[in-house]
Every structure is written in structure tokens, then in C-alpha cells.
């Protein structure tokens, strides 16, 4: 007898809006990919806007998944999406989970005189401060890795 414990997860991510303009395509693509999976995890961390058609698409995915004994999870919904899900009582029909972000260890924000940030010091990200910092979670004054180079640029 063989027993398989591992979940076969279909991870869905990478959309900023789930609205009437894209919900049908979203639903079709996810439903087409259900075969062979035991769990569908829809990452809503980057989704900043969802309307009723988007919510309907999530429910439309859950129905055939449930018939196939597939679990559908909404993972890390952004705050505006979380509000919609709460108001609409979506948690009664969809599993909503918030996982801590997996991040690299970082140096805490270091206090320094204005204009003098020690080499290799990281700045606080949007998640920590609530204010955008260059659109990618880093200060635009710092390079793509969040560090100043030798010349201070």
C-alpha cells in the first residue's frame, strides 16, 4: 500500500487587479489547470483592486475544485481586498490565510546623520512603514539590492 502525503499545489499569483475585465480569463485559466492538484493557492498579496466579478471568479473556481476534492486557499490578501472579502463574508465559502512573508534577514534601520547612510544599511520597506519607497520596497536612492555602492550612489 502506498500513501501520498505531499500536497500537489497549484500556485496562482502575479495579478494586480481582478475585475470584470479579466475575471473570465482568470477563471478559465485556473480551472483548466486544476487537474492533478490537491490544493489551489491564489496569492492575493499583489492584488490591489477586486470588484464583484473578481470575487465571483474566485467562487466560480471554488465550485469545480470542491467537486474534485481540491482545496482552494486565498493567500495573503492585500488590505483593500481583505476588506472586500470580510464585508462579503467570503471566509464562509473560501479559505483565507495570511502567511508571514518569507524574507531575507536584514539589518535594522540604522540611525545616521542626514545624507550619511552606512554602507550595507537597509532602509525600511513599505510593509514596515506603510509608505511607498520607490515602488519596489527599497529607497530609490539605493541600488536594486538596497545597498549603496562605493561611490555612495
Task: Check residue 140 and report its DSSP letter.
Answer: T
Average pLDDT of the chain, as a whole number: 75
Residues of the chain with CATH 3.30.750.24: 9-97
Predicted pLDDT of residue 100: 82
Residue 5 or 89, more confident:
89
Predicted pLDDT of residue 27: 95
CA atoms within 13 A on the CB side of 21: 5
Helix 23-32 vs helix 52-67: angle between axes, to the nearest 10 degrees? 20
Task: Check residue 88 and report its DSSP letter.
Answer: T
Kindly tell me if the per-residue pLDDT of 132 is higher than 50: no
Q: How far is residue 84's CA from residue 54's CA, in Å, rounded to a whole number?
A: 11
H helices present in 22-89, as ranges: 23-32, 52-67, 79-87
Predicted pLDDT of residue 136: 40
**What homologous superfamily does CATH list for 9-97?**
STAS domain (3.30.750.24)
Q: How far is residue 146's CA from residue 142's CA, in Å, rounded to a whole number?
A: 5
Predicted pLDDT of residue 103: 52
17, containing H or E segment: strand 17-18
Kindly tell me if the per-residue pLDDT of 71 is higher than 60: yes
Amino acid at each position: 500500500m502506498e500513501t501520498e502525503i505531499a500536497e500537489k499545489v497549484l500556485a496562482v499569483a502575479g495579478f494586480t487587479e481582478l475585475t470584470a475585465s479579466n475575471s473570465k480569463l482568470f477563471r478559465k485559466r485556473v480551472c483548466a489547470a486544476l487537474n492533478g492538484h490537491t490544493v489551489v493557492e491564489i496569492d492575493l498579496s499583489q492584488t490591489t483592486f477586486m470588484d464583484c466579478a473578481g470575487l465571483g471568479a474566485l467562487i466560480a473556481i471554488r465550485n469545480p475544485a470542491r467537486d474534485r476534492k481540491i482545496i482552494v486557499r486565498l493567500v495573503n490578501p492585500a488590505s483593500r481586498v481583505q476588506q472586500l472579502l470580510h464585508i462579503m463574508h467570503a471566509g464562509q465559502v473560501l479559505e483565507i490565510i495570511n502567511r508571514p512573508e518569507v524574507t531575507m534577514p536584514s539589518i535594522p534601520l540604522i540611525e545616521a546623520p542626514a545624507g550619511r547612510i552606512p554602507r550595507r544599511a537597509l532602509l525600511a520597506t513599505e510593509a514596515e512603514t506603510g509608505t511607498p519607497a520607490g515602488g519596489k520596497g527599497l529607497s530609490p536612492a539605493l541600488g536594486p539590492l538596497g545597498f549603496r555602492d562605493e561611490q555612495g550612489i
